Amino acid sequence: MDGKQTPAIEALTHLRSKICNRNSIFSFSSDAPDSNYNKLKFIVSNSVTEACNNSVLLLGSRGCGQVEVLDLVLEDLKAEYPEIISVVRLDGVLHSDDNCAIKEIAKQLCSENQLLFSKMASSDDNTQFMMAVLREYGLAHKTVVFILDEFDLFAQGKQRLLYSLLDAMQSVSSQAVVIGMSCRLDADQLLEKRVRSRFSHRKLLFLPSSKEDILRLLKHILTLPEDSMFPRDYVITFNKKLHNMFEEAKFKEILDTLLDADSSVHHVLNFLFVAVCNMNLESGYLSVENFKTALLSIQRPYKLDSLQGCSVLELYILACMKRLEDKEQNSYNFNSVMTEYKHIHDSYRISDYYARNVSLRAFEHLLQRELISFGDSRGQNQSIEFRPVKLLISSHELLQGLKLYRSCPALLQKLMTGELNKMKAHLVDVEMID
Amino acid sequence: MDKENSGQVTKRTTRASASSTPSKNTLSNQEEFEDMDKENSPQVTKRTTRASASTTPSKNTLPNQEEFEDMDKENSPQVKKRTTRASASTTPSKNTTDYRPPSLLDNLVFREQQSIISQDELFSTFPGRKCQILELLRLFGPINSSLLPIFLYGGPSSGKTSIVLHIFKHLKRPFIYASCRTCHNPRLLFESVLNQLLLHRKDSSNAYSSAKRCDKPSDFVNMLRESLMEVINSLRVNSKKSGLKESGEQGIGGMVYIIFDNMELVRDWDKDSVIISMLFKLYDILKMPEVGLIFISNNSPDTYHLNTGSVEPIPIHFPEYTEDDLYQIFLRNQRDPKLYSSFLDVVLKDSCKITRCIDELSTYFRLLFEKYCEPLSGIGRVPNQDMKSKLYMHLKPHVTPSLNEVFRVPSCLALELKENKEKVGKKRNMRRLGDGVVPDDIDFHMSVSAKYLLISTFLASRNPATLDAALFDSAGGGDNTNRKRRRK
C-alpha cells in the first residue's frame, strides 16, 4: 500500500464505516406506515404533546434493531421538539442492581440539566431527587424518556426500580415514557404483580426481516453514492457490477444459506462486513467469491473445527466415551473410559496405545476444548479421574469429524460406525482356526 | 525507550495485583512476562512457547529453561539487549530517573524505528499462519476504517496473542491490551484498561494505585467512554497536526483498539455472566465507531452460554498446527538444524498422535533431544544414515518414560495448594498413599503428631464442608441452619 489513496481503498473505508454505523442502516426501513418506527414515534410523541405518561416494551430477538429504531425515533423527535426531551439510558447488563440504577439515573438527570452530581448521595436521596425532577419536568411540560435495555435483567431482584419508575407514571404531574427492550418475549410475565398492574402492556414486536427486506438492505448499504468524492466512472461500474451480482443464482444461494441460519440484521451486517473486507483492492470491486468466503468464516462448524484439532489419542478417548454411552452407561469417569480403551486395545490390537498419564493429559485437553465436560459441579476437590464426565458432542458430529480428519486410523472410524462387530467376529474366527 | 515505558505499565499492574493475592502471583507474573516478551522482540515466538512450557508442572523443566535463556542470549545480540531492558524495568530506582511525561502515542503504539516489521517478516515469524494473518489484516483494513468486534479462538499456544500484537506492531496503530489471566478479577481488568488509556503508571510515587478506582461495570463503561473520548480527540488533533508529514507512511490513525485476552477465564468469575455479556455488548453500549474490540479466547464462541444470549462477534479460527508446520517451527532457532531435523523425523510423527500443542511438545522434545545427542561426542557432525539408525536405537527405550514424565498431570489438590510448595510436596506423598502407589520416602524428619495433623488435614480436605461443621462445630452449626430453614 502506498500513500496515495486509491478509489478502492476509499470505497472500502466508506463501506466499512457505513456498515459499522448501525443507526443509519435502519433509517431506510422506517418509511412504511405500520412500521415499528412509526408506532413508536406515535407513542413517544403522544406523550410529548399530550403531556401523558406511557410505557412500552420493545420485544424481539437480538440484532433486530430495537435499539437502532428507538435511537432514530428519539433523534427525530429531539429535532422536532428541541430542548423538551431528556433521555435516560440504562442497561440491564450494567445497572441490574437497583441502587446502582438509581444512582445512574440521578447522574444522567444531573448532567442533562447542568446540575452537580454528588457521589455521596444515598440511594434514598437519589430516588427523591428523581421524583423531584420528574415533578419539575411535568410542570415545565418537558418529557423524560427512560430507556431500559435488557429489560428482563431489571426484573431479577425485588424490582424496586421498576416499581418506583412505573409508579411515578401513575401520577398526573409527571410526563415520562418508560421504554423497555428485551430479547425475551415473555419479559412482561417476569414482572411482579404490583409492577405489572402499573405497566401499560403496550408491546412492539421486532421480527427478523424477510428476504426481500434484506436484499433491499444490501442494495442500500453496498451501493456507492454517485454524488461523492469517488471518481464518477468508478462508482458507475461498481454499482453496475453489484447489481449484476445480486441477480446471480450463486449469490442468491449464498444469501439463502445465510438467512436460514439467522436472519437478524446484525448477523447480516457481520456477514457484509467480512465480505467487504475481503474485497480485492487491486480490482476494487466486490465479487461473489467475497461473499462466499464471508459466509464460510461467519458460519463455522465450531465443534467440527475443534475435532480437527484433536490428536489421535484424543479421538480414541472420545470414541471410547461414545461407546460407553452406546452401552447405556449413564455415568462414567476417566477410569471407566480407560478400561474401555484398554478393552479396545486388547480386542483389536491397536497400535496407538498410550500409558495412563499420557491419556490423562489428553483427557484434560478435551476438557479444555470443551468437547467433554464434567457431569456435575459437585466434588470440585476431587481429582479429575474420579469425576463423572459427559460428551458435549453428538455422535453424528463425531462421525462427521472423523471422516474429515486427516490420517484418521481406519480402526477408529470402524469403531464408530459399528462395523467392528463384524471385524471382531472375523478375528474370533481367525483365532479359532489358529 | 518508548517501548520500555509501555512495558512497565503492564508489568507494574501485575506486581500490584500479585501483592493483593499471593496465591496466583507466580502464574500471573509469568504470563505477563510472556506478554512482554512477545511484544518486545519479533523473533521470540519460539522462546515464549518454551517459557510457557514450564507451566506444565514437571520438575526438570525449570533448570532447562534457564539454560535455554542463556543459549538464546549467546545466539542473538538483540535478545540480549531485550533481556537487560526487561530487567532494568524491574528495578524501581531506574524507572524514576528515566521518567518522562508520558505522551499518548508513545505509550499506545510500538514506536521504535528498528522494530518496524514488514508483512513478509510477519509471515516468516509465524510459519503456518499466513491465512490467519491475511484475514486479520483484511479485517483491520486500511487506516481509519472502523471495525466490528472480532473474536479470535484456537487452542493454547497457537499464536493468537502474539500474532495480534505483532500485527499491531506492523500496522503501528494504538491499542490497549488486557489479559484476563493477569487481571484476574473484574476490578483489575477495568483498572488495567483505564490505566493504559489514561497513561497512568503504577509506581512508588503513587503507591502502586490505579488511576481510578473502579469495580462496577457501570462505572467502568462511564469512565471508559470518557477516557476513550479524550484519546480519540487527541489522536484526531495529532493526525491533523502531523497529517501532511505522516500521510506517506501508514500508522497511528484515528482508531483505538482494545484487546481482551483469555476471555474464557471470565466465565468463571461470576455466575450470572454479567461481565462477559457486558464485554461482548461493549461495542453496542459505547456506540463509538472509532473503537475496535478484539477478543481472544481458547474456546470457540459456541461455548459461551449466556443466559440472555448475545450477538456474536466475527469469529476467526486459529487451528492447531499441522505436522509440517510443527516441523518448521521446531527447526527455527536451532543450533544444529541438520541434527535436529533428523531427530524430528524420528519423533515428530508419533508425538503428533498424542498432542499438537507446542508448549507440551517442546518440553518433551527437549528431554528427548538430550538423550538423542548422548552418543554423539561432539556437536556439529552431520549424522549419516548409519549413525541415524544408531541414534534411533539409543533413543527408543527413553520414549515412553519421558512421555510419562512430561505428560504427568498433577493432582487437583496439588494445583490448589501450589502457593505453599512444601505442603504440596507432602500432599503428593499422601496422595500416592491413597492411590495405593508405593510412597516416596519422606527425606526429612517429621514428628508423629505432625504426621497425624497432616493426615487429618488431608482427610478434612476431602470431606464436604458441611460434614465438618456437623462433626466439629460445637454449636452444631449444621443443625441451626436446618432449623431456620424449616421455620421459613
Distances (CA, A) of B435 to B16, B429, B439: 40, 10, 9
User: pLDDT, tens digit, for every residue of B414-440?
Assistant: 444 444 444 444 444 444 444 444 444
Judgement on whether residues B344 and B213 belong to the same structural domain of the protein: no
Distances (CA, A) of B298 to B151, B157, B160, B218, B317: 10, 9, 9, 27, 10
Look at B314 and A270 and tell me if their CB atoms are within 8 Å.
yes
User: In terms of Cα–Cα distance, which of A281, A1, A290, A19 is closest to B253?
Assistant: A1
Q: Does B399 touch chain A (CB under 8 A)?
A: no
Judgement on whether residues B44 and B93 belong to the same structural domain of the protein: yes
Task: Establish if B284 belongs to a structural domain.
Answer: yes
Rounded to 10 degrees, what is the CA torsion of B55, B59, B63, B68? -50
- pLDDT at position A431 is 60
Task: Establish if A22 belongs to a structural domain.
Answer: no
- Give B473 to chain A, closest Cα distance, Å: 22
Judgement on whether residues A79 and A195 belong to the same structural domain of the protein: yes
Task: Establish if A215 belongs to a structural domain.
Answer: yes
Look at A355 and B404 and tell me if their CB atoms are within 8 Å.
yes
Last residue of a domain, one of B347, B382, B406: B406
Q: Does A318 touch chain B (CB under 8 A)?
A: no
User: pLDDT, tens digit, for every residue of A390-409?
Assistant: 888 888 888 888 888 887 78
User: In terms of Cα–Cα distance, which of B250, B230, B234, B232 is closest to B289?
Assistant: B232
Comparing A348-362, A373-387, B80-94, B358-372, which segment has the lowest mean pLDDT? B80-94
- Are the beta carbons of B4 and B95 closer than 8 angstroms? no
Question: Which pairing describes strands A389-391 and B150-154: parallel, antiparallel, or unpaired?
Answer: unpaired
End-to-end CA distance of chain A: 73
Rounded to 10 degrees, what is the CA torsion of A58, A298, B149, B188? 100
Rounded CA separation A324/B46 (Å) = 40
For residue B234, pLDDT over 50 is answered with yes
Q: What sections of A248-287 are H helices per DSSP?
A: 249-261, 265-277
Q: What sections of B173-216 are H helices per DSSP?
A: 186-197
For residue B75, pLDDT over 60 is answered with no
User: pLDDT, tens digit, for every residue of B295-337?
Assistant: 999 888 888 876 656 667 899 999 888 888 888 888 887 878 8
Nearest residue, CB atoms, A277 vs list B141, B301, B310? B141
Mark which residues 127-186 of B lie under 8 Å from A by CB.
135, 138-139, 141-142, 144-148, 154-156
Q: How many CA atoms lie within 13 A of A345 on its CB side?
A: 14
Q: Which residues on chain A are in Cβ contact (under 8 Å) with B303?
A: 302, 370
Judgement on whether residues B397 and B417 belong to the same structural domain of the protein: no
Give, to the nearest 10 degrees, the angle between helix B77-90 and helix B61-75: 120
- pLDDT at position B133 is 92
Nearest residue, CB atoms, B354 vs list A183, A354, A382? A354
Cβ burial, residue B53 (10 Å; 0-12/13-18/19+): buried
Look at A360 and B308 and tell me if their CB atoms are within 8 Å.
no
- pLDDT at position B410 is 55
Q: Which residues on chain B are in Cβ contact (under 8 Å) with A311?
A: 352-356
Rounded CA separation A398/A320 (Å) = 12
Judgement on whether residues A41 and A121 belong to the same structural domain of the protein: yes
- Give A358 to chain B, closest Cα distance, Å: 5
Judgement on whether residues B10 and B149 belong to the same structural domain of the protein: yes
Nearest residue, CB atoms, A309 vs list B274, B308, B319? B319
Q: Determine the structural domain holding residue B472 and report its residue range.
A: 413-487
- pLDDT at position B450 is 87
- Are the beta carbons of B442 and B422 closer than 8 angstroms? no
What residues contact B238, with CB distance under 8 A and at least 6 apart?
Answer: B104, B105, B252
Q: Does A188 touch chain B (CB under 8 A)?
A: no
Look at A302 and B217 and tell me if their CB atoms are within 8 Å.
no
Task: Establish if A51 belongs to a structural domain.
Answer: yes
Distances (CA, A) of B187 to A47, B8, B206, B212, B218: 41, 20, 18, 10, 12
Comparing A296-305, A359-368, B23-32, which segment has the lowest mean pLDDT? B23-32
User: pLDDT, tens digit, for every residue of B131-173?
Assistant: 999 999 989 888 888 889 999 998 888 889 999 998 888 888 8
What residues contact A172, with CB distance under 8 A and at least 6 apart?
Answer: A138
For range B67-91, the mean pLDDT: 36
- Of residues B254 and A176, more confidently modeled: A176
For range A233-248, the mean pLDDT: 90
Query: To the nearest whole number, what is the mean pLDDT of chain B?
Result: 68
Q: Which of B355, B403, B428, B462 to mutate to test the interface with A (most CBs of A within 10 A)?
A: B355
For residue A170, pLDDT over 60 is answered with yes
Within its chain, how far is the Cα of A4 from the centroid? 38
Rounded CA separation B136/B97 (Å) = 39
Helix (H) or strand (E) holding A66: helix A66-80
Look at A364 and B315 and tell me if their CB atoms are within 8 Å.
no
- pLDDT at position A105 is 92
Task: Establish if B256 belongs to a structural domain.
Answer: yes
Look at B403 and A91 and tell me if their CB atoms are within 8 Å.
no
The grid coordinates listed for A302 are: 465450531
Look at B353 and A311 and tell me if their CB atoms are within 8 Å.
yes
DSSP string of A298-357, one letter each residue: HS--HHHHHHHTS-HHHHHHHHHHHHHHHTT---B-HHHHHHHHHHHHHHH--S----HH
Judgement on whether residues A103 and A224 belong to the same structural domain of the protein: no
User: pLDDT, tens digit, for every residue of B198-219?
Assistant: 888 778 888 778 888 888 888 8
CATH code of the domain containing B290: 3.40.50.300
For residue A282, pLDDT over 60 is answered with yes
Domain count, chain B: 3
Q: What sections of B172-261 are H helices per DSSP?
A: 186-197, 217-241, 243-246
- Are the beta carbons of B14 and B202 closer than 8 angstroms? no
Task: Establish if A324 belongs to a structural domain.
Answer: yes
Question: Which pairing describes strands A389-391 and A372-374: parallel, antiparallel, or unpaired?
Answer: antiparallel
Judgement on whether residues A143 and A114 belong to the same structural domain of the protein: yes
Nearest residue, CB atoms, A308 vs list B218, B315, B319? B319
Look at B145 and A266 and tell me if their CB atoms are within 8 Å.
no
CATH code of the domain containing A349: 1.10.10.10
Question: Which pairing describes strands A389-391 and A54-60: parallel, antiparallel, or unpaired?
Answer: unpaired
Q: How sure is the predictor about B243, in pLDDT bands with cuts at 50, 70 and 90?
A: low
Q: Which residues on chain A are in Cβ contact (under 8 Å) with B154?
A: 309
- pLDDT at position A271 is 92
Judgement on whether residues A295 and A365 belong to the same structural domain of the protein: no
Judgement on whether residues B27 and B123 belong to the same structural domain of the protein: yes
Domain count, chain A: 3
Q: Determine the structural domain holding residue A152 and report its residue range.
A: 31-206
Judgement on whether residues B418 and B401 belong to the same structural domain of the protein: no
Residues of chain A above pLDDT 70, percent: 93
Model ipTM?
0.88
DSSP string of B311-325, one letter each residue: PPPEEEEEPPPPHHH
Among left, alpha and beta (phi > 0; psi -120 to 50; other), residue B289 is: alpha
Query: To the nearest whole number, what is the mean pLDDT of chain A?
Result: 85
